[in-house]
């Protein structure tokens, strides 16, 4: 068996998606690149631990989990998290944004100014616009105000985002239309904190960045990794944590959140030998420098 690699997740850089590995190495991903790896015989998935520390229990985690942490480590990981609303004293400036994932699927959220649009790329936002900038708690209060007034959530199930990509409007103008309407309603509201400055509507479209212009619809998604299983395919698109791989079965989506916790080894074959399931339909719709 070759050297085992342990994935630390998918990151988005200015040049596109990058797979990060424990130990600091990175694998840049480009359209047309063959992604091929396997799980060794007898491999099991272990908890990745909280915030860079080993799991004190040495626990195993379910193969289908996108969290890769046991219950205790997940609790510790979120104990100091802006996303979990457990931090109130972060001095960095924050931005409030509107993100759009498909027709009828918009959300409001916040991200640190220093992160730029990385948060939107990580979430798989098809289109977004900034709403305002200010201190953390002002941004958080504005997020709550807009969520209630616009009747949009602050979270959207990732399976719904994935399903929506199959039927996106053809043009950037069409994809920005719903965000434009919500933005206009948002800036017209009273009750914004004085310390949060409003920003004009400037839509940013990620369809080209994600490689979703090729017209290759996904036919399924990897359900889980298994011992002795192999994933192999040509990268044709990526959005959020998802890699769209062209395989002998057609385009199959690999959620890279399924990778952490496994020991992965190089694979030379071109077959996909892990469980694949049909893509979930959107609710209400019809139906070696590196590992590779």
In the predicted structure, residue 177 carries a pLDDT above the cut 50 = yes
pLDDT in tens, 218-245: 999 999 999 999 999 999 999 999 999 9
Query: Exposed, middle or buried by CB within 10 Å (0-12, 13-18, 19+), for 37?
Result: buried
Strands 94-102 and 34-39: unpaired
Cα–Cα distance for residue pair 185/182, rounded to 1 Å: 5
The structure's pTM equals 0.90
pLDDT band at 6 (very low <50, low <70, confident <90, very high): very high
Closest among 257, 213, 211, 250 to 19, alpha carbons compared = 257
pLDDT in tens, 21-52: 998 899 999 999 999 999 988 899 999 999 88
Two structure tokens written together for 105: 């699927």
Query: Exposed, middle or buried by CB within 10 Å (0-12, 13-18, 19+), for 101?
Result: buried
What is the gyration radius of the CA atoms in the chain, in angstroms?
20
CB 263 within 8 A of CB 39: yes
- Mean pLDDT over the full length of the chain: 90
- Report the DSSP beta bridge partners of residue 235: 245
* DSSP H helices in 151-258: 158-164, 172-187, 207-210
pLDDT band at 285 (very low <50, low <70, confident <90, very high): very low
The neighbour count for residue 215, using CB atoms within 10 Å, is 5
Least confident range from 127-131, 181-185, 276-280, 283-287: namely: 283-287
CB 178 within 8 A of CB 103: yes
pLDDT in tens, 62-120: 999 999 999 999 999 887 665 545 566 788 999 999 999 999 999 999 999 999 999 99
Share of the chain above pLDDT 90, in %: 76
Cα–Cα distance for residue pair 17/240, rounded to 1 Å: 9
The neighbour count for residue 76, using CB atoms within 10 Å, is 17
Dihedral over alpha carbons 23, 42, 288, 240 (to 10 degrees): -60
């Amino acid at each position: 068996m070759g050297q085992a690699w342990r994935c630390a997740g998918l990151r988005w850089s200015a040049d596109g998606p990058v797979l990060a590995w424990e130990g600091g190495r990175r694998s840049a991903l480009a359209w047309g690149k063959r992604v091929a790896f396997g799980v060794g015989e007898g491999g099991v998935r272990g908890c990745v631990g909280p915030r860079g520390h080993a799991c004190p229990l040495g626990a195993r985690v379910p193969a289908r989990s996108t969290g890769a942490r046991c219950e205790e480590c997940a609790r510790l990981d979120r104990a100091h998290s802006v996303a979990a609303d457990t931090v109130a004293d972060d001095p960095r400036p924050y931005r409030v944004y509107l993100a759009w994932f498909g027709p009828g699927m918009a959300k409001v959220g916040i991200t640190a100014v220093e992160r730029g649009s990385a948060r939107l790329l990580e979430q798989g936002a098809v289109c977004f616009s900034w709403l305002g900038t200010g201190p953390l708690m002002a941004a958080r209060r504005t997020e709550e105000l807009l969520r209630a007034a616009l009747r949009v959530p602050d979270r959207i199930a990732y399976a719904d985002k994935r399903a929506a990509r199959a039927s996106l409007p053809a043009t950037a103008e069409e994809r920005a239309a719903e965000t434009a309407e919500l933005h206009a309603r948002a800036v017209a509201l009273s009750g914004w904190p004085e310390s949060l400055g409003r920003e004009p509507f400037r839509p940013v479209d990620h369809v080209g960045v994600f490689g979703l212009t090729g017209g290759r619809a996904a036919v399924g998604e990897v359900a889980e990794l298994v011992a002795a299983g192999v994933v192999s395919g040509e990268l044709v698109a990526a959005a959020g944590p998802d890699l769209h791989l062209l395989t002998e079965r057609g385009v199959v989506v690999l959620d890279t959140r399924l990778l952490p916790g496994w020991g992965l080894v190089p694979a030379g074959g071109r077959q996909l030998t892990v469980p694949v399931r049909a893509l979930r339909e959107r609710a209400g719709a019809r139906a070696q420098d590196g590992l590779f």
